[in-house]
Amino acid sequence: MTDPVTAATEPPADPEVPDVRALGARLSNWGRWGADDERGTTNLITPARIVEAAKLVRTGEVFDLGIPLDSDGPQPGGFRVNPIRLMSENGQEQELPGGLTWADDYVFMPLQAGSQYDALSHIHYDGRLYNGHPSRDVTSKGAQRCGIHTQANGITGRGVLLDIAGLNGVDWLPGGHLISPADLEEAERAHGVTVGPGDILLLRTGWWRKFTSDRDATAFMDTEPGLGLACAEWLRDRDVAVVGADNHAIEVVPGENKAGMFELHMVLIRDMGVTLAEILDLEALAASCAADGVYEFLYAGSPLKFTRAVGSPINPLAIK
Amino acid sequence: MTDPVTAATEPPADPEVPDVRALGARLSNWGRWGADDERGTTNLITPARIVEAAKLVRTGEVFDLGIPLDSDGPQPGGFRVNPIRLMSENGQEQELPGGLTWADDYVFMPLQAGSQYDALSHIHYDGRLYNGHPSRDVTSKGAQRCGIHTQANGITGRGVLLDIAGLNGVDWLPGGHLISPADLEEAERAHGVTVGPGDILLLRTGWWRKFTSDRDATAFMDTEPGLGLACAEWLRDRDVAVVGADNHAIEVVPGENKAGMFELHMVLIRDMGVTLAEILDLEALAASCAADGVYEFLYAGSPLKFTRAVGSPINPLAIK
Amino acid sequence: MTDPVTAATEPPADPEVPDVRALGARLSNWGRWGADDERGTTNLITPARIVEAAKLVRTGEVFDLGIPLDSDGPQPGGFRVNPIRLMSENGQEQELPGGLTWADDYVFMPLQAGSQYDALSHIHYDGRLYNGHPSRDVTSKGAQRCGIHTQANGITGRGVLLDIAGLNGVDWLPGGHLISPADLEEAERAHGVTVGPGDILLLRTGWWRKFTSDRDATAFMDTEPGLGLACAEWLRDRDVAVVGADNHAIEVVPGENKAGMFELHMVLIRDMGVTLAEILDLEALAASCAADGVYEFLYAGSPLKFTRAVGSPINPLAIK
Amino acid sequence: MTDPVTAATEPPADPEVPDVRALGARLSNWGRWGADDERGTTNLITPARIVEAAKLVRTGEVFDLGIPLDSDGPQPGGFRVNPIRLMSENGQEQELPGGLTWADDYVFMPLQAGSQYDALSHIHYDGRLYNGHPSRDVTSKGAQRCGIHTQANGITGRGVLLDIAGLNGVDWLPGGHLISPADLEEAERAHGVTVGPGDILLLRTGWWRKFTSDRDATAFMDTEPGLGLACAEWLRDRDVAVVGADNHAIEVVPGENKAGMFELHMVLIRDMGVTLAEILDLEALAASCAADGVYEFLYAGSPLKFTRAVGSPINPLAIK
């Protein structure tokens, strides 16, 4: 997501736009998996569903959905920078037994600099995290509740791609383009696939393709095509486990409510407990799906087990 | 692996121990996948083998094999430190539109601080990397050849666990304990499993369990139980794609040849092009395998796509 | 200072030991330089005193008081690590116009890893910083009040060395050895020097010399010889501007009050507003002073201008 | 300096421009302070000159010449980023004996991100550093010769400001504006000051003022007003110890020789062994000098003692 700190002062609420707190309350998953739950909708990925998902492996083709982690990434600087990797050893100037030489490297990076999961502790409001955990549990030492390490045993299951850009016949949808539930259902029909409980839903907007075309990090972060608030209810009805996309925030930016910001994040993460996967590269996967007409696959994308972190870099695999 | 820099002066070679250069030349995979190949034995993980591996998913149980990434890790300091994660935002002192609050974090870490893949550019000798690429291709800017990003589209396939510690009825094998091909074959017989082409072979020595018992990072790095040099030929005969273990270097430390160091690394990585997965937590997986008698599974463990890096942190999943 | 987090539960207060809150209230400098002041006793270093201090330069000898910043430093790991410096360029693999080659490096470090100033925002209690500023002004973004940048225009003035170890005829005083006001006055007499308003007082305990002898970082941080609580009043009477030492916390560790910790820090920093300079190397300076009998000099040691930081690495110069 | 990597292909040499190698050979200080010397012209700052410099302290006014170290600095990203400072503790969520609370912070930064010294190991050509030390002594582990730590015992002495922008009656000279020896001498006459042996010469071009006006980091780094190649000889004649400026590279950018880059760096650092101080804030000092007509002062600006580093952040003090 772009830097909330730069946000302007609040205009009056738009009566046409759902109130985020009312929407969140209506769609809430708090308590659904117990008062202590920290994982949210990834609980929907049951063993039985994983067994079914594995059956989707038919050709053995693998697609890696992570973007490269290096200084050419989509962070324009400011609240996040691109990863900085430095060599501590490069094999030169070594005199080791037996003539061994070796190399080693370090990285300094924001955990959400590139392809990433948002932990459920990443977004909060009104003093509460997902499942009612107090926001003050996110301290200078990290997330005492809902850290990304609580998702470490996942995330694998049935993946479904909805290629909204492809469906519209464009390389990418424009910044600010809102995707509606009707768009999602049209994609389902076109792709011959139905999104259901426990699915990892991947949305292609073309926004990453735009970045690889123009390398304009500021433009990548300033706006984007993405889901509108009405999609929250649709995702709740379908009981989706994870939502991923090739943009930086899943949702349309700027959002519908000019007096708010990242309101779909507020509902999905804090009220519904949905893990988001952002800044994915879906280009090769989408091309394959278009070629063979199969838009479902086994998804295997674990977070790194950073204790109490509010996010993790990822490189998920889609296996067809 | 422990810091090669601390190595002592060279004693004479032991005539009983294979010469690492002769062994490497005999087992070499250079040229096997073309003169430009940078991936080595992960080429053995073919689509057909992935399809077969997915059929091993029968119960939907998932085991995450990464260790926690935090300041309590197994690095004693020196050439590598444990990951240092710091919050850049914790949701406090924010006044954002709509009452949104958010948290974000950064990490500084050696890419091989915890559970990790060694890139094929990690280890070299006599001026050459895997496949004859010159060692000078590993520069202060990283690995121009055989960077970990060349493995980004993997690594998923058939995983096999050989629980050598369990077979010996101990929580962990002692430091310096050498595992032989005969030990591997005894484990195969006991577990009712056969290691074959393209497999991801995971070896449990108990060394990680020892660390979680005594939290002695220096002891974890100073010695370890692990494979002897004779296992290189066995791994070549079986055409294993990846070797992983719960110790820090796969191989026995100290090694057989007192005049050398990390000689199995030299052969496996530089001559055979085998990707290694180190410092895994195999405890829960081993307990499950012991309980149901099934020692094979779908393994899905992608590296992060760090461009030109010589390693990557990982959190692989074993799916049964 | 050592990690407060490891502190044990509280024993009852010792009636012989001053109550830190009563002591702090009595010695408080709050309001002395205005309600908005963020600099404390460095206000005592007036232009007139700087002019006088410059007259102490008689031989042109210079002593640098910073310790080396590298991986061999006194941090045992845990809450602080030693600085990690990595090359981003080393001049190799470059093809630049005119044959230029160049090198560049990065560092990752705790700002208080080595020789350092504590900012007045480093230590607080009962919800207040120095001068009554609220502790909540120190946020995840840094010190909104009393950041080290507020000291950037200093710190230069008259330096005075009191060599307590030398006076006792030992290489170093033992850990836990308490230095009293009587010790300070004995040193003044022996050295023929009087500590006065606006002075930068440097105390040699030998603790750094011990570290360079045994390289035992854990021992360096676990205990130390240093000032007792009674010295707070002495420092207030003399109106010292800055107190520096060759140990890690100026004060004796463990402290006099077994139910508290770093209580002299609490009084000096939070109540009196005294800037502390820790982990200095005073060996060469002390040898010079012993040789020529002159224990006063011009001190010039600016902090780096880290905005809102709670400390800064330093390399102060003593010019005789 | 700007990123040499982005430099274009070489046009033919300009016959009007001095040949950098001939110039360097003619002005070389190699061997002048012994074959092992690593410090170059800072050797010119003798004790006697320091005693004289201290006499320049007349009013006790202090000017800190470092720029703020934070995310708003002049690095546009790419080969260097601005410093990233993160809190590890902010005093919240602590329960320590006696009610102590404390804060601590870390920084990740290029050592040359802001106000800085170039170590003599920063720039080389034709395989040689200053004094003939081989360039290969700068390895992935740092500068084995001419590291910044060799300057740790300095740098203090007579400072002289030449305010070239002020003399021209402009807030800043334009990018690409070349300063000649005649300009330097005109400034000397106007300011009533003469630059001599062992001096720390500070040049004000106004370039930092421009940055604080427009906050355009890319513009700050792309070009700048600065010294032409002819000034090398002038600096050698005067036997200046250190040259500092308020721009990023001392020298005019783009340089005179379109086929080269940073050629004055090549001569000053590698051939003459002159330490450079870059990106200084000279605004307040210049205003004071203009007001009282005194352009000389005591300069005290030590580098941090980073072992084997090729540069160091600084915050020098000018004391009048």
- A214: which residues sit within 8 A by CB, 6+ positions away? none
| Prediction ipTM score | 0.95
SS3 A122: coil
Q: Is residue B100 scored above 50 in pLDDT?
A: yes
Return the DSSP state at C271.
I
Q: Which residue of C70, C86, C104 to mutate against A (max A Cβ within 10 Å)? A: C86
**What does the pLDDT read at residue D13?**
57
Query: A192 — alpha (psi -120 to 50), left (phi > 0) or beta?
Result: left
Omega cis (within 30) before A155: yes
Q: Which residues pair with D308 in a beta bridge?
A: none
- Shortest CA distance to A105 belongs to which of B67, B113, B279? B113
Mean of pLDDT over chain C: 95
- Shortest CA distance to B161 belongs to which of B301, B62, B299? B299
C19: nearest CA in chain D?
Answer: D98
- Shortest CA distance to D300 belongs to which of D279, D277, D284? D277
Return the DSSP state at A308.
T
Q: Is D31 exposed, middle or buried (0-12, 13-18, 19+ CB in 10 A)?
A: exposed
Q: Which residues pair with C158 in a beta bridge?
A: C298
A219 vs B67: CA distance, rounded Å:
37
**What does the pLDDT read at residue B3?**
46
Q: How many residues in chain B? A: 320
C84 Cβ under 8 Å from any chain A Cβ: yes
Type of residue numbered D306: F
Neighbouring CB atoms inside 10 A of D201's CB total 24
- Shortest CA distance to B201 belongs to which of B168, B230, B167, B239? B239
Q: How many residues in chain C? A: 320
**What does the pLDDT read at residue C6?**
43
* Nearest chain A CA: its distance from D78 CA (Å): 7
Which positions in chain B touch C109 (Cβ < 8 Å)? none
**What does the pLDDT read at residue C16?**
80
Which positions in chain A touch B303 (Cβ < 8 Å)? 315
Q: Is residue C9 scored above 70 in pLDDT?
A: no
SS3 A209: helix
C237 vs A32: CA distance, rounded Å:
65
Owner of token pair 């030693």:
C82
DSSP chain D: ---GGG--PPPPPPTTSPPHHHHHHHH--TTTT-TT---GGGGG--HHHHHHHHTT--S--EEE-PPPBSTTSS--SSS----EEEEEEES-S---GGGEEEEEEEEEEETTSSSEEEPTTSEEETTB-GGG-BGGGEETTEESSS-GGGGTT--EEEEEEEEHHHHTTSSSPPTTPEE-HHHHHHHHHHHT----TT-EEEEE-SHHHHHHHH--HHHHHH-B-EE-THHHHHHHHHT-SEEEESSSSSB-BS-S-TT-SSHHHIIIIIIS--EEEES---HHHHHHHHHH---EEEEE-PPP-BTT-SEEE---EEE-
Return the DSSP state at A196.
-
Residue B107: phi, psi to the nearest 5? -135, 145
Chains in contact with B, where contact requires at least 3 CB pairs less than 8 Å apart:
A, C, D
B262: nearest CA in chain A?
Answer: A100
Q: Do A106 and C87 touch (CB under 8 A)?
A: no
- Shortest CA distance to A171 belongs to which of A130, A212, A223, A137? A212
C194 vs C290: CA distance, rounded Å:
16
H or E element: which one contains A64? strand A62-64
**What does the pLDDT read at residue D14?**
65
What tokens does B101 get? 């609050």
CB C160 within 8 A of CB C209: no
Maximum distance among all alpha carbons in chain C? 75
Q: Is residue B5 scored above 90 in pLDDT?
A: no
Residue B21: phi, psi to the nearest 5? -70, -40
Q: Do A47 and B69 touch (CB under 8 A)?
A: no
A103 Cβ under 8 Å from any chain C Cβ: no
A50 vs C23: CA distance, rounded Å:
65
- Shortest CA distance to D160 belongs to which of D272, D249, D239? D239
**What does the pLDDT read at residue A163?**
98
State in Å, rounded, how far the first CA of chain D is from the last one: 30
CB B60 within 8 A of CB A45: no
Residue B211: phi, psi to the nearest 5? -60, -40
pLDDT digits (tens, 9 = 90+) for C90-103: 998 899 999 999 99
- Nearest CB partner across the interface for C93, out of B84, B90, B139: B139
In which band, very low, low, confident or very high, does the pLDDT at A218 lie, cut at 50, 70 and 90?
A: very high
In which band, very low, low, confident or very high, does the pLDDT at B7 lie, cut at 50, 70 and 90?
A: very low
SS3 B148: helix
Q: How many residues in chain D? A: 320
Q: Do D89 and A139 touch (CB under 8 A)?
A: no
B185 vs B181: CA distance, rounded Å:
6
* Nearest chain A CA: its distance from C245 CA (Å): 30
The arithmetic mean of pLDDT across residues B10-38, rounded, is 88
SS3 C90: strand
What tokens does A310 get? 């509010």
- Shortest CA distance to C38 belongs to which of C122, C102, C107? C122
D23 vs D187: CA distance, rounded Å:
25
**What does the pLDDT read at residue B8?**
42
Residue B9: phi, psi to the nearest 5? -75, 165
Residue A116: phi, psi to the nearest 5? -165, 155
What are the angstrom distances between the C-alpha of D140 and each of B139, C83, C103, D126, D319? Answer: 9, 16, 10, 19, 38
Name the CATH superfamily housing domain D16-78+110-319: Putative cyclase (3.50.30.50)
B75: nearest CA in chain C?
Answer: C77
pLDDT digits (tens, 9 = 90+) for C90-143: 998 899 999 999 999 999 999 999 999 999 999 999 999 999 999 999 999 999
B124 vs B268: CA distance, rounded Å:
11
**What does the pLDDT read at residue C7?**
43
- Nearest CB partner across the interface for C140, out of B93, B108, B139: B93
Three-state SS string over A140-167 comes to: CCEECCCCHHHHCCCCEEEEEEEEHHHH
CB D314 within 8 A of CB D80: no
Three-state SS string over A279-302 comes to: CCCCHHHHHHHHHHCCCEEEEECC
Q: Is residue B2 scored above 70 in pLDDT?
A: no
Radius of gyration for the alpha carbons in chain B, expressed in angstroms and rounded: 20
SS3 C316: coil
Neighbouring CB atoms inside 10 A of D25's CB total 12
C127 vs A73: CA distance, rounded Å:
42
Q: Which residues pair with B319 in a beta bridge?
A: B62, B298
**pLDDT digit of tens for each residue in chain D (320 aa)?**
444 444 444 455 566 888 999 999 999 999 999 999 999 999 999 999 999 999 999 999 999 999 999 999 999 987 899 999 999 999 988 999 999 999 999 999 999 999 999 999 999 999 999 999 999 999 999 999 999 999 999 999 999 999 999 999 999 999 999 999 999 999 999 999 999 999 999 999 999 999 999 999 999 999 999 999 999 999 999 999 999 999 999 999 999 999 999 999 999 999 999 999 999 999 999 999 999 999 999 999 999 999 999 999 999 999 99
D9 Cβ under 8 Å from any chain B Cβ: no
What tokens does C117 get? 């100033």
**What does the pLDDT read at residue C12?**
54
**What does the pLDDT read at residue C14?**
66
CB B130 within 8 A of CB B269: yes
A30 vs A33: CA distance, rounded Å:
8
Type of residue numbered B211: F
pLDDT digits (tens, 9 = 90+) for B132-149: 999 999 999 999 999 999
SS3 B168: coil
pLDDT digits (tens, 9 = 90+) for A13-43: 566 889 999 999 999 999 999 999 999 999 9
CB C97 within 8 A of CB D145: no
**What does the pLDDT read at residue D259?**
92
What tokens does C168 get? 């006792």
Q: Which residue of A79, A86, A136, A310 to mutate against C (max C Cβ within 10 Å)? A: A86
Owner of token pair 């006014």:
D61
Q: Give the residue extent of every domain in chain A.
A: 16-78+110-319
Q: Is residue B9 scored above 90 in pLDDT?
A: no
A104 Cβ under 8 Å from any chain C Cβ: no
What are the angstrom distances between the C-alpha of D107 and each of B104, C98, D156? Answer: 16, 35, 27
Q: Is residue A2 scored above 90 in pLDDT?
A: no
**What does the pLDDT read at residue B92?**
87
